[in-house]
Structure 1
Amino acid sequence: MDAFAKEPVSNGRIAAALEEIADLLEIEDENAFRVRAYRHGARVVRGSARGFADMVALGEDLADLPGIGTSLAEKIEELVRTGRLAYLDQVEGRTAPGLRELLGLPGLGPRKVKALRDGLGITTLEQLESAVMRSRVRGVPGFGAKTEARILASLEHLHRRPVPHVLWPAAEPLVLALTRHMERIPGVTRVAAAGDYRRLRETVDRIELLVAAGRDARATERLLEYEGTDRVVSRSAKRVKVVLRNGLSVDLHMVPARSFGAALFAHTGSDDHVATVRRFASKQGLALDERGVFRGDARIAGRTERELYESVGLGYIEPELREDRGEVEAARAGALPELLTVADIRGDLHVHTSVTNGRDSPRAMVDAAAEHGYEYVAITEHTASARVSHGLDAERMARHLDRIELLNDRQDRIRILKSAEVDILKDGSLDLPRRILDRLDFTVSAIHSYFDLSAAPQTERILRAMDDPHLSILAHPTGRLIDRRDPYAVDFERILAAAAERHCALEINAQPERCDLSDVLARAARDAGVALVVATDAHRKEQLDFMRLGVGQARRAWLTAHDVLNTRSWKDLERFFAQRRR
């Protein structure tokens, strides 16, 4: 088995290689019989119930299979054994790179791509768009005005099409699987994720991986064997870009160990952050690129990011801060904050159970919170107006609070706080009577209806709610759901001013589709003197782990443990909430 690729090459990967050869040979006007042979071979491989890699491992003669033959059998065996196909590399090497992008445009097969190249010298999407706009394509044999119009529509759709992206937690298992896949390659010494993922942005539109390896590791070829790979966009000895089956792209960069820190810096920070640091280095007579930091021809740093930042006179800047929002100036002045960590969190103040719309019982959620090492956890069931969430009216809430008190008495692992996620009604009142609100340790209050109010009435609604001394924390303050619902219209400056004056805390809700407050608004809240809470809004035990997402959002907002209420002991937290009821 040592002669085989580390992981089996799938039938889909083999078929894709054969189809690509057929397309490129057809563009080259190769013998039609050879083109058909590769296409037929691809269909045979895709339609096979057995894995061709298994057949090779068992020593079966692939040439005996109908539609394969000796030549294709040899190429398939080469791909299975080595993870690469020299003939495909050869054909790709003599084909203009842009022609492969043209093949990906709907309605443009190899014959039409060849006609465009031969007739108009078109080898890129940009050249094609220019020719279409000047009505030149319709003059190519085999085309016409209707075909030209369809190509234009496809190009316009390509421009409008949003870049596929996923929420950060959906990217995480892909990054971990890809990292494990690459780390198993002999000769690979380090793999690191960069880009939006490393900065803990709410969504990730591509995965960037940096790999340090010996010369013979063939890491770029091994990425092509990853089972989730759908197609190859580009490939070279130092870089490969593929698209996964879910539409997310992966960029893999091969990096020398001596330049790993410099490359990680270049591919982690936003473009503006990287440019600002480079300008800062240039003012000191230094050159900074993906290879390292240079004074003249001498490399003075680049192996680690910390070394890189220090070489240009800056303190180390955490990845979450690298957005060019003043972090370079703060690093120069030695004024970077000591960012919040998950270890600083002493309790979760927003948790649901099976009493309303959660999955797990109150006891199960309490036990899970204790396993996280928390000192306290708040059970925050919905109130009656949240009908879709099976919210509790006053009488049911009273009975629920009785049970929470009893549960608290029967266990001593963690303090259970009596709370509720109280709806803010259209008129700004809270959805529980005062006699029930007085029983709560604090309230988490939120808008769950009338999202379409204009800014003035929505703002007044929230301000009236804040006038109630029982409102302790404004939950998911903008109401957004990423990719599903925009924030409701509101004058946020007035909300911040009122929250600071009334000692109302604002929540950073860690549910992945919310991440509400955003990093920008959370920082604005901190700057306005507003206290913040990081909470999971967990509806089952596993969602308590979302705390790390909320902490990541807080770190992007420059928050420290001092800025976040639930880093405090319950006694200190109780004193803060008591300010509201005086």
Structure 2
Amino acid sequence: MHIHNADVAAVFTEIADLLEIENQNPFRIRAYRNAARTVEMLAPSVQTLVEEGRDLSELPGIGADLAGRITEIVHGGTCELREQLRRELPPGIGSLLRVPGLGPKRVKLLFDERGIHTPEQLLRAAQEGQLQTIRGLGEKAEQRILEAVQAQLSKERRFSIAVAGQVVEALVAYLRQLAPVARVEPAGSYRRMRETVGDLDIVVASADGPAVTGHFIRYDAVARVLSHGPTRASVELHNGMQVDLRVVEEASFGAALNYFTGSKAHNIELRKLALKRGLKLNEYGMFAGEQPLAGETEEAVFAALGLPFIAPELRENRGEIEAARDGRLPHLVTLHDLKGDLHAHTTASDGRSSLRDMAQEARSHGMTYLGITDHSQQLTVASGLDAERLAQQIDEIDQLNAELDGITVLKGTEVDIRQDGTLDLPDSILQRLDYAIASVHTRFGLGSEAQTARIMRAMDNRYVRILGHPSGRLLFEREPYPVDMGRIIRHAKECGCALELDSQPGRLDLNDIYCMMAKDEGVLVSIDSDAHSVLDFDNLRWGIGQARRGWLEKKNVLNTKTLAQLKAHWKH
């Protein structure tokens, strides 16, 4: 049975919801929510880690108890604690907590007073005026709840790119086991590396469509079959994700892959271009009348239109077709281009791996340098370092560098930006470092003008070389703080500060549009893992995907520089 990280995360989230409704220990609830976030965004599969006998308590925020629960879920798909809580509470009640404005006390009140335990029941009750008579609610509260639950139910469910990646890799491997399958590729928004994915599209080349679709619907992660035919099928997985499969002949595989990769706007422009040439383009190929001209490969399809291959990440109708026609397509950055990683944490703050282990793991990923940037003292929740502890770490790094071959550890810090724009550590310690990353971790609610001025003042500090996760967003959890990103980018150019693209799949901050803006202004972007354990360096693939969506080339990325080039750049 395939257990994806998202499956484990879903169990932990449900446990946290049910514990919250029961008004249990808030620290215990927070531990399960943090564990859900950690597991869902983890690059390696927890099922693989369990099968390899790895110590899961080494994961950030995972102690021995939670590690045991993960193992229990991997082996059985659930755990006894969830089943116990489900017996104590009605099914689906935890989903009410995701309706804005409904806390655990109000959820319990709605159940006790009206037996409501699903969003659909809540919607009907609000529409029928059943809520305003509950003590403590009233007509205005009922209207707010009605609007909130309508908005919640109308939302398209989306998944992080990392969650989609875990599903894709296992499903593609499963499909490739079938003998008549010649090629299998994911398409859609996942192939375009969008930061969130609504559903998955898989394209298969095979001469035996019925065998492929039959094999597909028998995949053990399938919860229900939505449709099934000889060349196409749709299923819903246990995690709620829909997967659509399309089977074509090998002669049409490139055309189908192009068609189902999208985006819709990009495809429309390609079809218009084909029509201008008297051709017809569809999912089966490029045709002159009934005569097929191209279809087996995407390269052939583009060539039939007089275009070079356009990378999937660019296919958003943002000028990529014009750039292709004019020979101006960017040579997009690749993971291989990265020479180092400039944002990583250790056990000195909130990391779960030692300084030495982090350095050795970075080296095994092909890095020639690794910047250690543990949090500063203001972030007490992360056991941030004060000047004295940071000085000790500087000495430890010097000693480690004297012992290690093949990689250099750089001395850094992720220093908090205070509300007034000053930094959380004095210049007397910052000057002993190779560089500092300045980040906002508090006071997200400042107005745009105050927040922008705060960040710009921090960037003016001569020891700050990178602005960390510049918009402060957490996908699915926290909106970006209000800030004038155009001014931030222009100021970065003036002061020579790079902007970070944090590769944690829950951040992916900068977004693709801001990456394009930074490139246009000549501001370098640092693609970093923000690793908190040795398992997190694999997240760089998601940062690279975001950078490619933002048209970034090797020359636009700070940490594609060699160590000597990097140090020379910082001397300017």
Is the TM value for this pair above 0.5? yes
Give runs of aligned pairs for residues 375-390 of structure 1, distance below 5 A.
375-390=368-383
Give runs of aligned pairs for residues 139-538 of structure 1, distance below 5 A.
160-215=153-208, 217-538=210-531
Stretch of structure 1 that moved more, 372-381 or 174-183: 174-183
Contact 2:346–2:352 (CA under 8 A) maintained in structure 1? yes
Contact 2:438–2:459 (CA under 8 A) maintained in structure 1? no
SS at match of 2:373: strand
Q: CA deviation at 1:235?
A: 2.2
Given residue 301 of structure 1, which amino acid in structure 2 is its aligned partner?
A: A
Given residue 218 of structure 2, which amino acid in structure 1 is its aligned partner?
A: E
Q: CA deviation at 1:217?
A: 4.9
Please, what TM-score do these two structures have when normalized by structure 2?
Answer: 0.73
Contact 2:210–2:230 (CA under 8 A) maintained in structure 1? no
Contact 1:476–1:508 (CA under 8 A) maintained in structure 2? yes
Match of 1:564 among 548, 557, 564: 557
Rounded Cα–Cα distance in structure 2 between residues aligned with 1:529 and 1:224: 49
Rounded Cα–Cα distance in structure 1 between residues aligned with 2:337 and 2:177: 35
Contact 2:210–2:231 (CA under 8 A) maintained in structure 1? no
Q: CA deviation at 1:167?
A: 1.1
Contact 2:252–2:283 (CA under 8 A) maintained in structure 1? yes
SS at match of 1:163: coil
Given residue 390 of structure 1, which amino acid in structure 2 is its aligned partner?
A: S
Evaluate the alpha carbon distance shift between residue 237 and residue 159 of structure 1 in structure 2; reply closer, same or farther with a 3 A threshold. Answer: farther
Contact 2:502–2:543 (CA under 8 A) maintained in structure 1? yes
Rounded Cα–Cα distance in structure 1 between residues aligned with 2:281 and 2:262: 14
Q: Over residues 515-558 of structure 1, what are the superposed CA-to-partner deviations in whole Å (9 max), with x where a residue is unaligned?
A: 00001111111111111110000000010111111111111111
Q: CA deviation at 1:501?
A: 0.8
Contact 1:474–1:507 (CA under 8 A) maintained in structure 2? yes
Contact 1:293–1:301 (CA under 8 A) maintained in structure 2? yes
Contact 2:414–2:439 (CA under 8 A) maintained in structure 1? yes
SS at match of 1:382: coil
Rounded Cα–Cα distance in structure 2 between residues aligned with 1:252 and 1:189: 15
Contact 2:346–2:533 (CA under 8 A) maintained in structure 1? yes
Q: Over residues 100-157 of structure 1, what are the superposed CA-to-partner deviations in whole Å (9 max), with x where a residue is unaligned?
A: xxxxxxxxxxxxxxxxxxxxxxxxxxxxxxxxxxxxxxxxxxxxxxxxxxxxx9xx95
Rounded Cα–Cα distance in structure 1 between residues aligned with 2:473 and 2:209: 49
Give runs of aligned pairs for residues 23-172 of structure 1, distance below 5 A.
160-172=153-165
Q: CA deviation at 1:280?
A: 1.0
Tell me what 1:39 maps to.
Answer: none
Q: CA deviation at 1:201?
A: 1.2
Q: Over residues 449-479 of structure 1, what are the superposed CA-to-partner deviations in whole Å (9 max), with x where a residue is unaligned?
A: 0001010100110111122111110010000
Contact 1:187–1:217 (CA under 8 A) maintained in structure 2? no
Q: Over residues 246-277 of structure 1, what are the superposed CA-to-partner deviations in whole Å (9 max), with x where a residue is unaligned?
A: 10001011111111111100000210001011
Q: CA deviation at 1:158?
A: 9.9
SS at match of 1:359: coil
SS at match of 2:535: helix
Tell me what 2:131 maps to.
Answer: none
Tell me what 2:139 maps to.
Answer: none
Rounded Cα–Cα distance in structure 2 between residues aligned with 1:234 and 1:437: 60
Stretch of structure 1 that moved more, 429-438 or 405-414: 405-414
Given residue 347 of structure 1, which amino acid in structure 2 is its aligned partner?
A: G
Contact 2:266–2:315 (CA under 8 A) maintained in structure 1? yes
Rounded Cα–Cα distance in structure 1 between residues aligned with 2:514 and 2:216: 39
Q: Structure 1: state its 5+ residue gaps.
A: 1-7, 9-152
Please, what TM-score do these two structures have when normalized by structure 1?
Answer: 0.72
Contact 1:185–1:217 (CA under 8 A) maintained in structure 2? no
Match of 2:538 among 545, 559, 570: 545
Given residue 521 of structure 1, which amino acid in structure 2 is its aligned partner?
A: Y
Tell me what 1:109 maps to.
Answer: none
Rounded Cα–Cα distance in structure 1 between residues aligned with 2:174 and 2:408: 43
Given residue 516 of structure 2, which amino acid in structure 1 is its aligned partner?
A: R
Evaluate the alpha carbon distance shift between residue 395 and residue 207 of structure 1 in structure 2; reply closer, same or farther with a 3 A threshold. Answer: same
Q: Pick 1 or 2: higher relative contact order, CA cutoff 8 A, min separation 6.
A: 2
Rounded Cα–Cα distance in structure 1 between residues aligned with 2:411 and 2:501: 20
Contact 2:209–2:230 (CA under 8 A) maintained in structure 1? no
Rounded Cα–Cα distance in structure 1 between residues aligned with 2:470 and 2:489: 11
Given residue 469 of structure 1, which amino acid in structure 2 is its aligned partner?
A: R
Q: Over residues 374-429 of structure 1, what are the superposed CA-to-partner deviations in whole Å (9 max), with x where a residue is unaligned?
A: 11111101000011110011111111111111111122321110000011111100
Given residue 436 of structure 1, which amino acid in structure 2 is its aligned partner?
A: I
Rounded Cα–Cα distance in structure 1 between residues aligned with 2:449 and 2:315: 35
SS at match of 1:303: coil
SS at match of 1:435: helix
Given residue 159 of structure 2, which amino acid in structure 1 is its aligned partner?
A: V
Stretch of structure 1 that moved more, 330-339 or 218-227: 218-227
Residue identity over aligned pairs, in percent, reads 43
Given residue 311 of structure 1, which amino acid in structure 2 is its aligned partner?
A: A
Rounded Cα–Cα distance in structure 2 between residues aligned with 1:177 and 1:528: 40
Rounded Cα–Cα distance in structure 1 between residues aligned with 2:236 and 2:193: 21
Q: Over residues 263-303 of structure 1, what are the superposed CA-to-partner deviations in whole Å (9 max), with x where a residue is unaligned?
A: 10000021000101111111111110111101111110011
Evaluate the alpha carbon distance shift between residue 374 and residue 452 of structure 1 in structure 2; reply closer, same or farther with a 3 A threshold. Answer: same
Rounded Cα–Cα distance in structure 1 between residues aligned with 2:307 and 2:339: 32
